[in-house]
Amino acid sequence: MATLMIGYDVEAHGNPAVTRAFLDAAFALHTELNAPCTLFLLGKVVEQNAEQLEPFVGHPLFDLQQHTYSHKLFKTVCMEDDSGKVTVYRGASLAEVEEDVARGRDVMIRLLGVDPIGVCGPYNYYRGLSDRPDILEVLHRHGIRFLRTYGRNERDYQPTPFSVQPFWYAPQGFPDMLELPIQGYQDYYLRWMVGWDDIHLYIQRLMRHVRAVAQRNLAWSYCQHDGSNRGDPQMTIIRALIGEARNLGMDVLSHRQFYDRALVSRQFA
């Protein structure tokens, strides 16, 4: 069945007011619509907003997972944009990745009582972690069982083809670890392309994507950031996306719900 997973990268630790406004809006919208979602929380954000996150803890609609402690990249991103400009963002060392993931997990356990089994990789990468079984081993050792790390195309840019669907990391030796790729554009990229304040055009592009996903019976992990509430404080983008997905008969699930179903059915094996 075609599925929409909404995942928020909650990472604006440099501007706590942005995150707090997002948390208020997201809680109100998702409870109103009875729509599950996943919050991939940066550890620094959890430290700044533990009290504001309390209503989310244990709530059946909100899946709380981690986004590392300080946003260190798992892999180097060599990004070639549409103009041909190449920008390199260096990945952290294996020891630094382990420290950032372990610390992110510790903060969530200590301040929220939540032990995350999912992680969103900062920036995301071409092929996810298919070529890095060493990183997979580190993540597995720290309790990670599903990942959102494949979110770039062969130019380390956007969009990621929708043909890239969830897959298990069995060939790398981790048959219980599931990749849930971010397809299409991450929100920041597409909003910059269409014009940050042109919410109507942005929604039009999302509607085109969600209809294609429904027609092809695919799974879509949609990525939005807490900072995207700038210019859309009432979250009209997400309201429209959820509404259209339901009109098309799609499942709307959290990433944890999707993982749990796939683990039982062994789909994508």
Which tens digits make up the pLDDT trace of 177-228?
999 999 999 999 999 999 999 999 999 999 999 999 999 999 999 999 999 9
Kindly list the domain boundaries of the chain, sorted by start residue. 3-265
Q: What is the pLDDT of residues 87-144, one digit of tens each?
A: 999 999 999 999 999 999 999 999 999 999 999 999 999 999 999 999 999 999 999 9
CATH superfamily of 3-265: Glycoside hydrolase/deacetylase (3.20.20.370)
Integer Cα distance of 115 and 253 in angstroms: 20
**DSSP for 208-225?**
HHHHHHHHHT-EEEEEEE
Residue 167 CA from chain centroid, whole number:
16
Judge whether 150 and 179 are in contact, CB under 8 Å: yes
